[in-house]
Structure formats: structure tokens, C-alpha cells
Amino acid sequence: MSEYSFELLPFTHPAHDGWTGPVGDFGVVTVHYERTVSPKEKIGQARLYGDGFPDVLFRGSGPGMPTLHKAHMFVGGEPVELSYNARGLRRSARALRLTQGDRSHTYTSAGVGKEAELCRTGVKITVGPGRRVDDPHKGLVTAGQVQGPADPVDLAIAIIFEAVDTSSLTLGGAMVMAPLNFLQRQTDGGGS
């Protein structure tokens, strides 16, 4: 399969919110973020799992939906290196770069509630809001479009970010985060 689309239906649970559904020939995947992992430490956590997919764990500042601030990500138990430039003016300059072994991806976001794109050589996965479900309390379906020979790792990485606040990759988010980034540099000893 080199081009196909998929939909993940939203669900709610007392401990977490998420999306689930079949993706291509790889089977059913479930992704969710836990509402509270450690409220004292303000850490949010997202998980992705499915029989045909590697387990993915994403932890970042929270509580609730984790952010890219102080983030850690593991795919199949192996760490993924994350880097982005929160001060970039263009979307491509703010792109999140993910590296695990010899595999590299870039992830860009058009903004909150808009499409995002995960790319590596020959593969592009677009994920974003889809149609509204019958129950207005559940929200929107997540719609995905796959181009190229994406494998379960590509798909898992693209889908986990549905449960992560990636607003710092947008220009508006970068502007909102600028004071926090400045203060963080001051407390880390990086200020002048």
C-alpha cells in the first residue's frame, strides 16, 4: 500500500481521552493522553499501542496533554532524539526533527486544530481533524492520509502527536512560548 487514508474515532475514559481505529493493513491502533500522570511535577503522558504497531510513549510538560517542553519519546522502548527551534520564523524552521538510529523524520504543524505532516524520504503522512462524530462531547474524528511506503513506525510516530500539544511548532505558539523560553534560559544559567 503506498497511498491510502484512515480515520481514528475519538473516545473518552475517566483517566484519558484518545482515538482508535484501523490503519491500512497494520490493524487497529489506539492513541491517548492521560489526564494526570503527575500533577505535582506537571508531567503529561501520551501512549500509542496496537498489535501491528510498536508501543510509543511520549512524556512532556503537562498536566494533561503533554507538550514538547522537556519532552522524552520512546518508540518500541528505544529513545527518540527530539529537536526543534521554537524561535524559527518559518514553519520549516520550527519543524520538529526526530531521530532514532538511522531513521529521521520531520514533523510540521499548521496550527491547533489543523493538519500536521510527518515526512521522511519517500514517505508523507498527513494527520488532522476529520468529520464530527454523532456525539458532540467526543469531538472530531482524526483523519489521516498516507503517501509512500509508510511502515508501522512511521504511522505510530505520526499518530502519537494527535495526543501531544504541538502548538509550540506554530508561529502563534512560538510567540506565546517566547517568555517561558526566556525565563527557562535565565533559570538554567543561560541568560546574560
- Residue 93, domain member (yes or no): yes
- Residue 192, domain member (yes or no): no
- Residue 83, domain member (yes or no): yes
Place of cell 511535577: 41
Question: Tens digit of pLDDT for each residue in 159-184?
Answer: 999 999 988 887 665 555 555 545 44
**Residue 146 domain boundaries:** 3-187
Report the alpha-carbon distance of residue 154 to residue 83 in Å, rounded. 17
Q: What pLDDT was estimated at residue 169?
A: 87
**How many distinct structural domains can be found in the chain?**
1
Q: What pLDDT was estimated at residue 47?
A: 96
Q: What pLDDT was estimated at residue 78?
A: 97
Report the alpha-carbon distance of residue 53 to residue 50 in Å, rounded. 5
CA-wise closest residue to 73 among 95, 91, 96, 92:
96
Name the pTM for this structure.
Answer: 0.85
Report the alpha-carbon distance of residue 58 to residue 153 in Å, rounded. 14
CA-wise closest residue to 47 among 77, 25, 22:
77
- Residue 145, domain member (yes or no): yes
> If you write DSSP's letter for every residue of 18-73 in order, what string do you get?
EEEEE-TTS-EEEEEEEEEEETTTTEEEEEEEETTEEEEEEEEE-SSS-BSTT-EE
Q: What pLDDT was estimated at residue 184?
A: 47
Q: What pLDDT was estimated at residue 172?
A: 64
**In the predicted model, what is the mean pLDDT of the chain?**
84
- Residue 139, domain member (yes or no): yes
Q: What pLDDT was estimated at residue 7?
A: 96
Residues of the chain with pLDDT under 70: 1, 35-39, 88-89, 112, 135-138, 171-192
Count CB atoms within 10 A of the CB of residue 9: 15
- Residue 87, domain member (yes or no): yes
The grid coordinates listed for 133 are 462524530
